[in-house]
């Protein structure tokens, strides 16, 4: 079964925006709700190396990266950074705790990483700033 291109474009948009909103909320939580000091203390307790630097990295990647995914700008770079962020979350916080989040499992970080791996592979789609910028570069300038 082949999905019509217009439907695929909408699916890319919805998936990218939902991933972006979830990431933005988690970045906001790390930066504002818990604060960098609270996030850093949790990271330190979890054994994350350089907990303050790691807290800033996670907060900025998730907050700014989430916003970037919502509008569809720098999608491949953002997706790669999120995958790296989620790999760290898995290794230092969720590994060995099973699948389900209520037991500290990796389901959320796994889904976020998988979604961003897909975005890394396919890009932001037709309804993204990246697509608009690429289209403008391909359009010949007429004099």
Write the CB contacts of 67 (distance below 8 Å, at least 6 apart in sequence): 20, 24
- Return the sign of the alpha-carbon dihedral for residues 101, 106, 108, 111: negative
The angle subtended at Cα 79 by Cα 139 and Cα 98, nearest 5°, is: 155
Residue 33 in this model has a pLDDT that exceeds 60: yes
Q: Among 37-51, 56-70, 100-114, 128-142, which is the least confidently predicted range?
A: 128-142
Q: What is the pLDDT of residue 57?
A: 98
Q: Which domain holds residue 36?
A: 5-137
Kindly state whether residue 119 falls inside one of the protein's structural domains. Answer: yes
Kindly state whether residue 142 falls inside one of the protein's structural domains. Answer: no
Kindly state whether residue 43 falls inside one of the protein's structural domains. Answer: yes
Cβ atoms 86, 109 nearer than 8 A: yes
Kindly state whether residue 37 falls inside one of the protein's structural domains. Answer: yes
Number of domains observed in the structure of the chain:
1
């Amino acid at each position: 079964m082949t999905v019509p291109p217009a439907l695929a474009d909408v699916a890319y948009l919805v998936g990218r925006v939902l991933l972006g909103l979830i990431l933005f909320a988690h970045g906001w939580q790390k930066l504002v709700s818990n604060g960098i000091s609270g996030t850093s203390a949790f990271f330190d307790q979890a054994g994350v190396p350089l907990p303050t630097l790691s807290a800033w990295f996670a907060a900025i990647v998730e907050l700014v990266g989430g916003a970037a995914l919502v509008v569809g700008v720098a999608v491949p770079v953002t997706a790669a950074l999120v995958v790296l962020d989620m790999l760290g979350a898995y290794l230092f916080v969720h590994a060995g705790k099973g699948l389900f989040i209520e037991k500290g499992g990796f389901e959320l970080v796994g889904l976020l990483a998988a979604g961003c791996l897909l975005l890394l592979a396919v890009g932001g789609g037709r309804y993204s700033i990246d697509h608009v910028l690429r289209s403008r570069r391909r359009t010949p300038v007429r004099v």
